[in-house]
Structure 1
């Protein structure tokens, strides 16, 4: 078994630019896991999603892209629980209704 610290780059390493697709995949996987567990909704915080997908906080992070994906993946019935100043930031919190 690999140690997470050995697999993930550290915050002081060169930045890794994450794509929109990386965040879409990560968010959809999170929603699928929650749906399989029988949840009726899941609250997703941008900082947590970004950390799950790639290093955050880190120099050259992709938080704006992460937040854009969170907004774009919203469907009717989903709700924004917390909007950071400017609309994009690690505090963004969205409740996604399940099943999708």
Structure 2
């Protein structure tokens, strides 16, 4: 059984996704919480969605103009979608 991911694990994965986007010459990437959550092998029944969303918000950079594209009413949930400019 693999250990539950921490916020740092989600942040590392976001950075990896950003680096991949940069290497492809993309101007931005969009990440959806559910997709990020699944990338770290987390099933919905044993979820760490709050940690996933906290990491997504923490990785936003104002200087790049990163923005929330959509969010659930309480701000955290599987539908959270953030655009990160590269």
Alignment TM-score, normalising by the size of structure 2: 0.90
CA distance in 2, matches of 1:29, 1:53: 12
Q: Report how many aligned residue pairs link the two structures.
A: 84
- Higher-Rg structure is 1
In structure 2, the gaps of 5 or more residues are none
Match of 1:23 in 2: 10
Match of 2:42 in 1: 55
- The residue correspondences of 1:1-100 to structure 2 (distance < 5 A) are 16-57=3-44, 59-76=45-62, 77-98=65-86
Alignment TM-score, normalising by the size of structure 1: 0.78
Q: How far off is 1:56 after superposition?
A: 3.0
Higher helix share: 2
CA RMSD of aligned residues (A): 1.5
CA distance in 1, matches of 2:72, 2:34: 12
Q: How far off is 1:69 after superposition?
A: 0.3
